[in-house]
Amino acid sequence: NAGVTQTPKFRVLKTGQSMTLLCAQDMNHEYMYWYRQDPGMGLRLIHYSVGEGTTAKGEVPDGYNVSRLKKQNFLLGLESAAPSQTSVYFCASSNLRGGPTDTQYFGPGTRLTVL
């Protein structure tokens, strides 16, 4: 099992450009999450999904959109990137039995810089 994978690993954008981060998991997990990690801020939840076709806002959703068209994939989109979105983005998943507050499995992260 690959677990949780993220694409790309690194990306540099100019202000106003758009991009999509892809998260894939092969554990058949129902729940998936997108976090951002900034120095001294810990992890903050951007959006999450409790199943295929569903999404919900987290703590810091502004400037981001998400889609969960397939159970194994969770996409995070930035429509018009801003320097404040420079961060490391992590995707995670958890299974139905434990629920969203049980063990989460993390991807390796995407380091995004917006100039």
**12 neighbors 60 (Cβ within 8 angstroms):** no
Task: Give the x-and-dash track for 62-101 against other proteins (CB under 8 A).
Answer: ----------------------------x-x------xxx
Q: Does 43 bind other proteins (CB under 8 A)?
A: yes
Residue by residue, what is the 3-state secondary structure of 37-85?
A: EECCCEEEEEEEECCCCCCEECCCCCCCEEECCCCCEEEEEECCCCHHH
Least CB distance to other proteins at residue 19 (A): 20
Residues that bind other proteins (CB under 8 A): 4, 33, 35, 40-45, 48, 50, 58, 90, 92, 99-109
